[in-house]
């Protein structure tokens, strides 16, 4: 595989003013090859203004401000298109709320030197989640187990939102056809990579629940994932795009 020389960390945001400056600084400090793209969904708390201030002071930071709350999946699709147009070798998916530790980026990038898709996995070496209530932990773990059963994929953390994805994988995605968000988006891009024969590895991480701001998780995101995994499997069996 070609070495990774140019990597884009995509950070979707909505009302993350408490965290966004810190997460950008820590991501940039983790590896000098990494640039940051923040995709902000018109945060009413002024997140975009903070990112713009950081952007003006650092050429490795970019900002796309969208007109409303359009969702996690479409934010990443926007970031993927940006990365492809500017010839990045890989992208990093990472949350803005510091639940994903930016200090793990070097380990994930090392794994990506020999794999097309690296999952920052909460569940590949036990359960590594801090400060989640039991109900949410059970929901997340059950969603990954359910998704493995429905899709036939062997990976332990299919709903993981921390990942490194090489350009070769992005080139095969029909980005204009991806409609899912949240859990189902994360499952869908892994499913497409798996279906296309790319190498996928899991690297253990510790996920720590946010200390600032509020979670964006809701029942609609969970129910969307529950039905979309079966649509993906059926589409694959019939030879259609998911």
- Which range marks the domain in which residue 20 is found? 7-238
Q: How far apart are CA 140 and CA 134, in angstroms?
A: 10
Q: Indicate whether 1 belongs to any domain.
A: no
Mean pLDDT, residues 170-198 = 89
Q: Which of the four pLDDT bands, split at 50, 70 and 90, describes residue 210? A: low
Q: Indicate whether 2 belongs to any domain.
A: no
Between the CA atoms of 89, 91, 92 and 94, what dihedral angle is there, to the nearest 10 degrees?
160
Q: What percent of the chain has pLDDT over 70?
A: 86
Q: Indicate whether 139 belongs to any domain.
A: yes
Q: Indicate whether 169 belongs to any domain.
A: yes
Q: Indicate whether 196 belongs to any domain.
A: yes
pLDDT at 73: 92
Question: Which tens digit of pLDDT belongs to each residue from 141-167?
Answer: 777 788 888 888 999 999 899 999 999
What count of other Cβ atoms lies within 10 Å of the Cβ of residue 32?
Answer: 9
Alpha helices, H only, the chain = 20-30, 47-57, 72-85, 105-112, 134-151, 167-172, 182-195, 219-238
- Total domains in the chain come to 1
More confident residue, 98 or 140: 98
Pair 31, 61: CB distance under 8 Å: no
For residue 224, pLDDT beyond 80: no
Question: Which tens digit of pLDDT belongs to each residue from 26-80?
Answer: 999 999 999 999 999 999 999 999 999 999 999 999 999 999 999 899 999 999 9
For 35-49, 91-105, 180-194, which range has the lowest pLDDT when averaged over its residues?
180-194
For residue 136, pLDDT beyond 70: yes
Q: How far apart are CA 20 and CA 48, in angstroms?
A: 9
Q: How far apart are CA 196 and CA 16, in angstroms?
A: 35
Its pTM stands at 0.87
Q: Give the distance from CA 204 to its chain's centroid.
A: 15
More confident residue, 132 or 193: 193
Q: Which of the four pLDDT bands, split at 50, 70 and 90, describes residue 219? A: low
CATH value at residue 29: 3.90.550.10
Q: How far apart are CA 97 and CA 92, in angstroms?
A: 15
Cβ neighbors of 190 (< 8 A, separation 6 or more) are: 117, 119, 153, 155, 158, 200
Q: Indicate whether 51 belongs to any domain.
A: yes
């Amino acid at each position: 595989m070609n070495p990774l020389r140019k990597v884009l960390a995509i950070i979707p945001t909505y009302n993350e003013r408490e965290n966004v400056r810190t997460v950008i600084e820590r991501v940039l400090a983790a590896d000098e090859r990494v640039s940051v793209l923040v995709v902000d969904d018109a945060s009413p708390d002024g997140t975009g203004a903070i990112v713009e201030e950081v952007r003006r002071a650092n050429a490795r930071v970019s900002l796309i401000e969208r007109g409303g709350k359009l969702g996690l999946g479409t934010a990443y699709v926007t970031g993927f298109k940006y990365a492809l147009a500017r010839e990045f070798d890989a992208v990093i998916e990472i949350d803005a709320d510091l639940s994903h530790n930016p200090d793990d980026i070097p380990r994930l990038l090392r794994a990506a030197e020999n794999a097309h898709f690296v999952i920052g996995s909460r569940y590949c070496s036990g359960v590594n989640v801090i400060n989640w209530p039991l109900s949410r932990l059970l929901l997340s773990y059950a969603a990954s187990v359910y998704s493995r059963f429905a899709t036939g994929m062997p990976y332990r953390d299919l709903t993981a939102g921390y990942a490194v994805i090489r350009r070769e994988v992005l080139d095969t995605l029909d980005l204009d056809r991806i409609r899912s968000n949240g859990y189902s988006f994360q499952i869908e891009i892994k499913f497409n990579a798996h279906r296309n024969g790319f190498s996928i590895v899991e690297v253990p991480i510790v996920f720590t629940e946010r200390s600032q701001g509020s979670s964006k998780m809701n029942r609609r995101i969970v129910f969307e994932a529950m039905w979309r995994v079966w649509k993906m499997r059926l589409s694959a069996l019939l030879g259609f795009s998911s």
